[in-house]
A and B are shown apart, each in its own frame.
Chain A
Amino acid sequence: MGTLSLEGLSFRYPGRAEAVLDGVTLDIPAGGIFGLLGPNGAGKTTLIAVITGQVRGATGRIRLGGEPFERVRRAQPRCLGLVPQEHAFYPMLSCRENLRFFGAVQGLAGDELRRRIAAVAAFARIEAVLAHRAGQLSGGLKRRLNLAIGLLAEPQLLLLDEPTVGVDPQSRAFLLESICSLAAEGRTIVYTSHYMEEVQAICDRVAIVDRGRVLVTGALADLLQDGSGLLTLHLRSPLPSALAEAWRAQHALQDDGGAHYRLQLRAADEIAAILAAAQGAGCEPRSIAYGRRDLEQLFMQLTDRSLRD
């Protein structure tokens, strides 16, 4: 499977002035996990819906390995899997009945269907609850069933829309490990989430979208590289005022409160002197960061801090 290319995708809901997608252009390489980040209403779910063909009237082109995506899907109907944000299964059916139904509508039958149900149940570790009604499962098990259904037809391209919402840390860790193992098998995974630490932990490449536009895209390691000379310091106690004044003059010190500081350095070799001065003032460092920012900082910087909902 080649690169999934989105070229100038635009979409506007009828009766709305603003476009939900406004010329989205992205290249999602084959294999690996591609993180799609954005605040609420940024257009992530709509972008997934356009890729899966749930919405009509979107403009632009979608290609897979250079071929029109529609043509690829006609030739390989099982190439695409979707795990929606909702618990998209029938609560009144058992887990096994849900898996059988969604497998059958994807064309699986007989031994192949039974084998795939067993495989995805084992993968998602839901074998013990296969006979249980889906609506009676815990939140974590529902998420695992949701994922299992998406894997029934062994899709090469898997779209995961907020797959870990509302689960406990154990279930989240299990789901993330499972998703990483899927990528390791060579699948292409598009992963949308609000959880920056998740995306930072599992994604190879990311795109940050807001108001229907792609703000930045690239390899995660490159995006987190920070060449601005920013040093972030977290000390055990606040700086004495004299030292703080001095650093404000020399390094444009910013006090973020709670003994968190940001300093602008001209070169990396200034770090040693800074740390020595802090220790000399009785302020032992708890943590320092230089030359690298975290994803949340980048996200907030790009999407600004205003509330969206």
Chain B
Amino acid sequence: MLRRLLALWEKEWLALLRDVHGLAVLFLMPAAFIVVMSLALSDAFKDDAARQAEFAVLAVDDAPLARRFAQSLSGDGFRESSAPASEAEARQGVRSGKPSLVLVLPRGLGRALAAPAGGPAPALTLLADPALPSLQLAAFQQRVAGAALEQRVSTLLEQAGAGLPELKRAALNVEVLGQSRAQRPSSVQQNVPAWLIFGMFFVVLPIASLFIVERRDGTLARLAAHQVPFPLLLLGKLAPFFVVNMVQAALMLLAGRILVPWFGGETLALPERWDLLAAVAASTSLAAIAWGLLVAVCARTLEQATVIGGVGNILAAAIGGIMVPRFVMPQAMQTLSDYSPMAWALEGFHAVLLREAGVAGIAAPCAKLLALAAALLALALFVQGRRRVLQSGP
């Protein structure tokens, strides 16, 4: 039995190593996705620098006040740019998005802020680029209100002979829990596991295509004539593709460590618990291979296998937060996402890579993936068991 199994493994290896397209799907595709998506989404995971919106402050009668406003408004995603010469120039600039925001201070604002009795101050005008995200606009509005209040308090305190402490930045340290490295997850940290999972599930294509070729060419019939049991045939495919998935995992992590930084992105931070990472990868692999075997048994033609396997993977990826992060999905989609095996796998990888979770943190996603693998394998055997023609024919 072992001799037969070794022969099946060797055959599967040789066939896979000579399948250039299959190798490209398994290794190049996820690596390319990791690099491209890590770079493309790098700003979406950053707090400041690259996502800064430019603003300018225009005050026709009080340049020092404009300067003070600009200082108050700078930072936390907003960067000052040179002030336009007039409101007309400011409007023209904002229409083209340069800068995204212009705060126009009305005449007499400085005097109004300094008036001890208070009273209605003249209204400020904020010109905003329509392409600016609404959340960023709302944040800037809040900053303008804060800056106006700061100027008023500062002026009054100066008049009273008192100084104003540094209020520009709130004394607030943000700590993202579970991160001993004291940094928020980066784009590469999100994208490497996501596209690794996507690539792992694509073993469905080489598994199914070789199986269908074997059935079409009569090799499965020949193996059946030699009384090779069907479960042994499946086992003969499981082990090589498990190794392929593990190599994929290692190479994709390496891509996150080397390739993405080489292209200018951030470096993937690796966890200390390699064993947990391997456990999540192994569970994902078994689910992916079992899915591939079921498609292989059910599909009659290569076209069917490509459609069922490929489209199934893309749908599972779209639902499971691979293509679009789950946190940007509406609640209904997030609920639906709970049913995608890729979401389970992603949850497991995030537990290890982002939250540095222990065994308890990966137990649920791994259990779900292993249960799915067992169910899909059982279904594949059941479907084959109901066939009257065991390996070939109609």
Contacts and interface: CB of A to CB of B under 8 A. Distances in A.
A91 B4 CA distance: 20
A84 B222 contact: yes
A13 B376 CA distance: 26
A251 B156 CA distance: 138
Interface residues of A, number: 36
A92 to B, nearest CB: 4
B240 to A, nearest CB: 13
A92 B221 contact: no
B393 A54 contact: yes
Given A13-B394, A53-B224, A102-B222, A89 B389 contact: no
A105 B221 contact: no
Given A54-B390, A104-B4, A104-B6, A84 B221 contact: yes
A88 B219 contact: yes
A169 interface: no
B14 A104 contact: no
Given A93-B14, A101-B10, A55 B3 contact: no
A70 B232 CA distance: 20
B166 to A, nearest CB: 71
A93 B221 contact: no
Contacts of A107: 3-4
Contacts of B221: 49, 52, 54, 82, 84, 86, 88
A232 B314 CA distance: 70
Interface in A271-308: none
B389 A54 contact: yes
Interface string A72-86: 010001001010111
A105 B4 contact: yes
Given A54-B393, A92-B18, A109-B3, A85 B224 contact: no
Interface in B206-233: 214, 216-219, 221-228
A106 interface: yes
A101 B7 contact: yes
A88 B14 contact: no
Given A49-B393, A105-B228, A149-B222, A86 B217 contact: yes
Contacts of B228: 105
A55 B388 contact: yes
Given A82-B222, A104-B6, A14 B14 contact: no
Nearest to A83: B222
A97 B222 CA distance: 16
Interface string B353-394: 000000000000000000000000000000000011111111
A14 B389 CA distance: 10
Interface string B168-183: 0000000000000000
Contacts of A195: none
Nearest to B393: A49
B111 to A, nearest CB: 85
A56 B11 contact: no
A309 to B, nearest CB: 15
A57 interface: yes
B15 interface: yes
B65 interface: no
Interface string B1-29: 00110111011001100110000000000
Interface string A84-125: 111111111100010011101111010000000000000000
User: How extensive is the interface on chain B, given as a class?
Assistant: 20 to 34
A90 B4 contact: no
B346 to A, nearest CB: 34
A interface: dominant SS: loop
B227 A97 contact: no
Contacts of B4: 104-105, 107
Contacts of A49: 221, 389, 392-393
Given A13-B394, A49-B221, A88-B218, A93 B7 contact: no
Nearest to B217: A86
A80 B227 CA distance: 10
Contacts of A101: 7, 10-11
B219 A92 contact: no
Contacts of B393: 45-46, 49, 54-55
A89 B217 contact: yes
B222 A88 contact: yes
B18 to A, nearest CB: 4
Contacts of B216: 86
Contacts of A91: 217
A97 B217 contact: no
A14 B7 CA distance: 34
Nearest to A73: B227
B14 A87 contact: no
A147 B226 CA distance: 15
A208 to B, nearest CB: 22
Given A49-B389, A52-B224, A104-B3, A85 B218 contact: yes
A13 B392 CA distance: 13
A54 B391 contact: yes
Contacts of B391: 54
Residue of B222, B388, B390 with most partner-chain A CB within 10 A: B222
A80 B226 CA distance: 8
Interface string A33-54: 0000000000001100100111
Nearest to A88: B218
24 contacts: A14-B388, A49-B393, A53-B224, A53-B225, A54-B221, A54-B224, A54-B390, A54-B391, A54-B392, A55-B388, A55-B393, A56-B389, A77-B227, A80-B225, A82-B222, A88-B217, A89-B217, A90-B214, A93-B14, A97-B11, A102-B226, A104-B4, A105-B4, A106-B226
Q: Which A-B residue pairs are the 4 nearest by beta carbons?
A: A104-B7, A86-B218, A88-B218, A52-B225
Interface of A: 13-14, 45-46, 49, 52-57, 73, 77, 80, 82, 84-93, 97, 100-102, 104-107, 109, 149, 159
